[in-house]
Amino acid sequence: MNLPRNLPNPYEGWRSLVQQYQNADTRKAVWQIVNSYGGLFLTWALMLLSLRVGYWLTLLLSIPAAGFVVRIFIIQHDCGHASFFSSSKANDIVGSICGYFTLVPYKYWRKSHAIHHANHAKLEDRGVGDIWTMTVEEYQQSPWGKRALYRLFRNPLFLFGIAPTLNFVVLGRIPKRFKPGPEHNSVWLTNIVLFAAVFGIGKLIGFKEVAMIQIPITVIASSTGTWLFYVQHQFEHTYWEHTPGWNYTLAAMEGSSYYKLPIILQWFTGNIGFHHIHHLSPRIPNYFLPKCHSENPLFQRVAVLTVKTSLQTGRLALWCEERRRLVGFGDVLKSPQPTT
């Protein structure tokens, strides 16, 4: 729950606690690459063989395959924060390669994500690297067309079903912001590599087979990644603040959840559920997040979501400044008629 503004910050001292976890471990990083890519290549090969048995088996195998793609994205994510390896060059090389498997251009995403970290939970700085969120007042004062569009966008079937695939497969192929430069180049290079990979593998095993294998993987991985990002920030008692009163520590500890997942899901999602610690210190590699959490009681005083309780967040859509919490459309009694 958000703290009253006149109380002292209860998380003082966190900087000294995180320092010992910020040093990358090359052996852990390499092993994570091996088991993530090894798992993806193995399941992809099994999916190809399963086409001879039945497509039901192919679809079943697409679930762990998508899990490995999510895990590879976490590696890319850490590389973008320069935390996965101690070498900046190694981070950029591995991060770029990961982008070819996740469909996310590395340098373009890295800059967008840096903006997200710098502006997370600032009401005046929404719009880059986050999920579209309106306040109750903004929603009530919007024309009916914008309100209808927003309701469509926040509909769970669209937000977690259609939008993720559309975003990763289509919109991700076009540089929409930033000046021409390394970020734009990473988008076009990723597009070229993806086209060459699809063409080459398609000529080898058949384009129909590539589509039957890759489409379900992409759909599941995209939706899973979007859900993870959503649930780690969009819970009822999250934190939003006007920019002048915004506090970095509170934005991390109160504006990010601890998504407590079963161990197998925690593994596939690369420990990203410890999101409050990640926002406090992005330089902690994912493989040290559980240790940092378990060894420091200070980091355990946060909102905890489980798979069951996280499902309740799907109805939330609007930030209520008066109640300082996210609410659903049904909680807004009546929207006034638009004046424009």
DSSP string, 56-114: HHHHHHHHHHHHHHHHHHHHHHHHHTT-SSS-HHHHHHHHHHHHHHHT--HHHHHHHHH
Q: Are 98 and 115 in contact (CB under 8 A)?
A: no
pTM: 0.92
Whether the Cβ atoms of residue 157 and residue 214 lie closer than 8 Å to each other:
no
Tens digits of pLDDT across the chain (340 residues): 444 445 556 788 899 999 999 999 999 999 999 999 999 999 999 999 999 999 999 999 999 999 999 999 999 999 999 999 999 999 999 999 999 999 999 999 999 999 999 999 999 988 777 899 999 999 999 999 999 999 999 999 999 999 999 999 999 999 887 778 899 999 999 999 999 999 999 999 999 999 999 999 999 999 999 999 999 999 999 999 998 889 999 999 999 999 999 999 999 999 999 999 999 999 999 999 999 999 999 999 899 999 999 999 999 999 999 999 999 998 886 545 444 4
* Look-up of token digits 């890519």: 37
Distance CA 57, CA 68 (A): 17
DSSP 8-state symbol, 243: G
DSSP SS3 for 201:
helix
